[in-house]
């Protein structure tokens, strides 16, 4: 090949390489940036007085004097709103029956929208569900509810050939000529006075339990559950995996059984995680009866089986990568085989073994399918260490799925879901980072 | 020709060697007994016979050099003495190899104990990825020395014997892989000495060293002669004649000639030996 073509080939390869790295970086940005910006919103946001009320009565957090003065100030403005309502109700009584019926239907919609925005009306009986005990706690949600109050949503079905289109009609127009018409501009103009928005740093999102299935509060039970499951899985899988790897590399005689075991191990690494989930249910819960029903221990065991092949493979590779000369040196000094493994081979293989272990730990933390049937519940409080043998736990991976697809009010609490995603991504990222740091440290120590 | 004929029985060999020994070495020779003796000893890699029916006596507290062209089985023979070949699954032996009169490959031989008595320095330096101190202390710790002061004594003594103490005494806690190749090789010698073996097997210990470091290793061998049984594989004829008392010449797995170094280099019996030591050999 002549030098010209060779140079062109070299350059085009460089270009392709750089190109693919750029594409990867952009894809990563597209994925990671929304995760971070949305997830941060669960902790840093503009909170309303309702949020502070909620924190005080559900978590006993906040300054009671400050809060009562805030509540008093917002109540002054709210009193006016409620005054308008009672005024209109009195007006309703004076109306002709058909007119009254027509307005009544519209009025109850307005009332519902106001209730969603500001919380239950004074004098109403306290609602059963915590989510109805407070108005909008987040400013951006309050603005959505304001829109609901000001406009009625209608669907345009006039053209059967295209999909129905949503359009909005001002509610104020519907109440033209009544006293209620003043309510709409009043609420719109005094939103800030009514809800007192304030920049909020809600660190409790990490450390609080959830209230009323994630409507309020934080994700500590999920974080703790994820931690228990992942660490529990490691406690089983790591020692077992390293021992198996030592057996495969140091003790097993090459032969039919050995190669069967190895290929079984490789195959296991490729089995879909949902299969492990079913297996966990069938084996650990139904057959072995490690617990009555779902429990942390059953989930951890299932995850352990799932990550075991990866740990074995990583440990095997790491052990095989230890130079043969170390083994020779140790044995020639009169060391036993076992002692050689413990004092020379395993320490030298440690960086690789640990990397494999921590990557598996990240995988155990992130997998959903294996814990669906064995350990996860959608709502629950943080469990104590003593309960891991009997009780199930919420966990980040499963609750993200649950909030996204099965929660009855998924759209209301997107921020919680994003917060969970960010928490999970951070945990996995931190684990991987610690693997890199640990590996670098040990390698440096080994290399001198 | 029959190569095996030239390697005689122990008493006969003692006589020949004594004839050519310098006077100051003669007194040691009086106590000379076979420390290691091979009888029709063969080593196979699978079907391939790498060492062929070797019979020889390696005398106690003497330096024996092993020479021969590349691939003639020098390392294989050396490694079979402390059973390092056990690590190679296809490797097996026939005949007898005795150490202190005991069969090395006997059913009841404890190879761990054997290796403690028969130390080895490998062709390529192979320090552990641990500190210099831990490298030297590895063997003694293995054999039950845990007292810090005693370990330190052993480390210092071994490093001094291997002529590397001055270079490393101020960085014993540093990783041994940070040393130069020559320093590493001497460290490995020190590590082997720290176990206080009876036999030292040196497989081309100076092949990777510069002349200065080579001289240091040779000085060390001179110093140790008389207190250890030493076997050294070398491709360097001058080295063999400088440091050894007797020399074995291997060719294609066969022990062609085994005689006192002085005799083998001045008056070889076998024409092949002569060809090899005079460099007329390819
Ligand atoms: N692990 C092994 N498996 C199979 N054959 C081997 C193995 N090790 C060595 N041999 C063969 O055995 C013969 C002797 O090898 P050995 O290493 O003992 O030679 P040597 O004399 O030490 O050579 P050199 O001077 O190059 O080190 C060679 O033909 C070699 O190819
Ligand atoms: Mg060799």
- pLDDT > 90: percent of chain A: 57
pLDDT above 60 for B13: no
Q: Is B90 on the interface with A (CB under 8 A)?
A: no
- pLDDT, position A47: 93
- pLDDT, position A95: 85
Ligand 1 site, residue B124, Cβ cutoff 6 A: no
pLDDT above 70 for B9: no
Q: Does the distance separating the beta carbons of B142 and A335 come in below 8 Å?
A: yes
The angle that helices A97-118 and A64-93 make with each other, rounded to 10 degrees, is 170
Ion ligand 2, residues whose Cβ is below 5 A away: B 75
Higher pLDDT residue, A105 or B43? B43
Alpha-carbon distance B100 to nearest alpha carbon in chain A (angstroms): 17
Burial A12-31 (b: 16+ CB within 10 A, else e): eeeeeeeeeeeeeeeeeeee
Predicted TM-score (pTM) of the model is 0.81
- For residue B257 the two structure tokens come to 């000639």
Ligand 1 site, residue B146, Cβ cutoff 6 A: no
Tell me the pLDDT band of A448, cut-offs 50, 70 and 90. Answer: low
pLDDT above 60 for B17: no
A216 and A54 Cβ atoms separated by less than 8 Å: yes
- For residue B143 the two structure tokens come to 């054999």
- Strand A165-170 and strand A151-156: the pairing is antiparallel
Tell me the pLDDT band of A421, cut-offs 50, 70 and 90. Answer: very high
Tell me the pLDDT band of B101, cut-offs 50, 70 and 90. Answer: confident
pLDDT above 60 for B89: yes
Alpha carbon distance B263, B250 (integer Å): 16
Strand order in the sheet with B199-203: B118-121, B199-203, B229-233, B63-67, B246-251, B254-260
A277-283: long-range pairs with CB below 8 Å, 24+: A277/A302, A277/A369, A277/A370, A277/A371, A277/A372, A277/A373, A277/A374, A278/A373, A279/A305, A280/A305, A280/A370, A280/A373, A280/A374, A281/A373, A281/A374
Q: Which domains does chain B have, with CATH numbers?
A: 3-277 (3.40.50.300)
Mean pLDDT over the full length of chain A: 90
pLDDT, tens digit, 9 for 90 and up, residues A21-65: 999 999 999 998 988 998 999 999 999 999 999 999 999 988 899
Mean pLDDT, residues B49-73: 92
Higher pLDDT residue, A448 or B230? B230
H/E stretch holding A167 reads: strand A165-170
Mean pLDDT, residues A71-90: 92
Alpha carbon distance A249, A317 (integer Å): 9
- pLDDT > 70: percent of chain B: 88
Mean pLDDT, residues A115-119: 91
Tell me the pLDDT band of B32, cut-offs 50, 70 and 90. Answer: low
Domain edges within chain A: 3-40, 48-202, 220-447
pLDDT above 90 for B138: yes
Report the Cα B39 to chain-centroid distance in Å.
Answer: 19
Tell me the pLDDT band of B19, cut-offs 50, 70 and 90. Answer: very low
Alpha-carbon distance A24 to nearest alpha carbon in chain B (angstroms): 37
Q: Does the distance separating the beta carbons of A348 and B178 come in below 8 Å?
A: no
pLDDT, tens digit, 9 for 90 and up, residues A166-223: 888 888 888 888 888 889 999 999 999 999 999 999 999 999 988 888 888 889 999 9
pLDDT above 60 for A290: yes
Ligand 1 site, residue B47, Cβ cutoff 6 A: no
Which of these, A209, A64, A36, lies nearest to A130 by C-alpha position?
A209
Alpha carbon distance B129, B177 (integer Å): 6
DSSP helix/strand/coil, B53: strand
Alpha carbon distance A125, B184 (integer Å): 85
- pLDDT, position A387: 85
Alpha carbon distance B25, A8 (integer Å): 72
- pLDDT, position A297: 93
Select the residue of A326, A327, A334 nearest B142 (Cβ to Cβ): A334
- pLDDT > 70: percent of chain A: 100
Question: Could you tell me how many CB contacts below 8 A there are between chain A and chain B?
Answer: 73
Tell me the pLDDT band of B282, cut-offs 50, 70 and 90. Answer: low
The fold of A220-447 is MetI-like fold (1.10.3720)
pLDDT above 70 for B16: no
Residues of chain A contacting residue B115, judged by C-beta atoms under 8 Å apart? 331-334
pLDDT above 70 for B31: no
pLDDT, tens digit, 9 for 90 and up, residues B144-155: 888 999 999 999
Burial B170-189 (b: 16+ CB within 10 A, else e): eebeebbbebeebbbbbbbb
Alpha-carbon distance B144 to nearest alpha carbon in chain A (angstroms): 12
- Strand B34-45 and strand B48-59: the pairing is antiparallel
Tell me the pLDDT band of B211, cut-offs 50, 70 and 90. Answer: confident
- pLDDT, position A141: 92
- For residue A205 the two structure tokens come to 């999102």
Residues facing B41 on adjacent strands: B54
Q: Is B124 on the interface with A (CB under 8 A)?
A: yes
Alpha carbon distance B52, B239 (integer Å): 26
């Amino acid at each position: 090949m002549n030098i010209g073509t060779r140079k062109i080939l070299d350059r085009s390869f460089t270009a392709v390489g750089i190109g693919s790295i750029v594409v990867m970086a952009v894809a990563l940005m597209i994925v990671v940036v929304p995760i971070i910006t949305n997830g941060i919103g669960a902790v840093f946001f503009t909170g309303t007085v309702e949020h502070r009320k909620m924190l005080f009565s559900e978590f006993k957090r906040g300054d009671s004097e400050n809060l009562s003065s805030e509540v008093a100030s917002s109540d002054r403005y709210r009193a006016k709103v409620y005054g308008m309502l009672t005024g209109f109700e009195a007006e309703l009584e004076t109306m002709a029956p058909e007119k009254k019926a027509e307005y009544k239907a519209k009025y109850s919609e307005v009332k519902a929208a106001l209730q969603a925005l500001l919380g239950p009306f004074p004098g109403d009986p306290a609602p059963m569900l915590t989510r109805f005990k407070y108005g909008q706690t987040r400013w951006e949600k309050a603005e959505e509810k304001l829109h609901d109050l000001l406009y009625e949503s209608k669907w345009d079905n006039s053209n059967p050939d295209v999909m129905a289109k949503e359009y909005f009609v001002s509610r104020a127009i519907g109440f033209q000529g009544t006293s209620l018409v003043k309510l709409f501009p009043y609420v719109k103009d005094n939103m800030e006075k009514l809800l007192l928005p304030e920049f909020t740093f809600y660190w409790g999102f990490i450390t609080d339990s959830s209230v009323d299935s994630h409507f309020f509060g934080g994700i500590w039970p999920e974080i703790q559950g994820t931690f228990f499951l992942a660490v529990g899985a490691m406690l089983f899988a790591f020692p077992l995996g390293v021992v198996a790897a030592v057996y495969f590399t140091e003790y097993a005689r090459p032969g039919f059984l050995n190669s069967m075991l190895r290929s079984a191990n490789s195959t296991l690494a490729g089995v879909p995680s949902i299969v492990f989930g079913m297996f966990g249910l069938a084996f650990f819960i139904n057959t072995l009866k490690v617990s009555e029903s779902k429990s942390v221990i059953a989930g951890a065991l299932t995850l352990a089986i799932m990550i075991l092949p990866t740990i074995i493979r990583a440990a095997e590779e790491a052990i095989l990568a230890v130079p043969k000369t170390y083994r020779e040196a140790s044995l020639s000094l009169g060391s036993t085989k076992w002692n050689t493994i413990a004092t020379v081979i395993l320490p030298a293989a440690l960086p690789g073994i640990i990397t494999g272990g921590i990557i598996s730990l990240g995988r155990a933390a992130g997998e959903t399918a294996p814990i669906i049937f064995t350990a996860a519940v959608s709502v629950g409080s943080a469990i104590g260490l003593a309960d891991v043998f009997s009780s199930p736990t919420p966990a980040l991976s499963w609750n993200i799925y649950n909030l996204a697809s099965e929660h009855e009010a998924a759209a209301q609490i997107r921020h919680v879901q994003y917060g969970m995603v960010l928490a999970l991504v951070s945990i996995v990222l931190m684990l991987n980072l610690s693997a890199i740091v640990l590996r670098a440290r040990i390698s440096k120590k080994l290399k001198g | 020709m029959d190569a095996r004929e030239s390697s005689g029985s122990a008493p006969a060999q003692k006589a020949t060697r004594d004839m050519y020994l310098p006077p100051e070495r003669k007194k040691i020779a009086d106590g000379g007994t076979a420390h290691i003796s091979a009888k029709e000893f063969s080593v196979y890699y699978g079907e391939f016979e790498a060492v062929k029916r070797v019979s020889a006596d390696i005398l106690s507290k003497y330096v024996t050099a092993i020479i021969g062209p590349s691939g003639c089985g020098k390392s294989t023979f050396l490694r079979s003495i402390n059973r390092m070949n056990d690590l190679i699954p296809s490797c097996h032996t026939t005949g007898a190899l005795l150490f202190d009169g005991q069969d090395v490959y006997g059913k009841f031989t404890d190879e761990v104990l054997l290796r403690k008595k028969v130390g080895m320095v490998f062709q390529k330096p192979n320090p552990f990825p641990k500190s210099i101190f831990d490298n030297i202390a590895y063997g003694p710790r293995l054999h039950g020395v845990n007292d810090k002061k005693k370990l330190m004594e052993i480390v210092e003594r071994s490093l001094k014997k291997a002529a590397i103490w001055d270079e490393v005494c101020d960085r014993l806690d540093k990783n041994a892989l940070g040393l130069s190749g020559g320093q590493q090789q001497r460290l490995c010698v020190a590590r082997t000495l720290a176990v206080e073996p009876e036999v030292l097997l040196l497989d081309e210990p100076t092949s990777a060293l510069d002349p200065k470091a080579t001289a240091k290793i040779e000085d060390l061998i001179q110093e140790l002669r008389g207190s250890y049984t030493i076997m050294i594989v070398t491709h360097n004829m001058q080295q063999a004649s400088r440091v050894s008392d007797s020399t074995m010449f291997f060719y294609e797995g066969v022990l062609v000639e085994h005689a006192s170094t002085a005799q083998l280099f001045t008056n070889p019996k076998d024409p092949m030996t002569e060809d090899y030591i005079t460099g007329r050999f390819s």
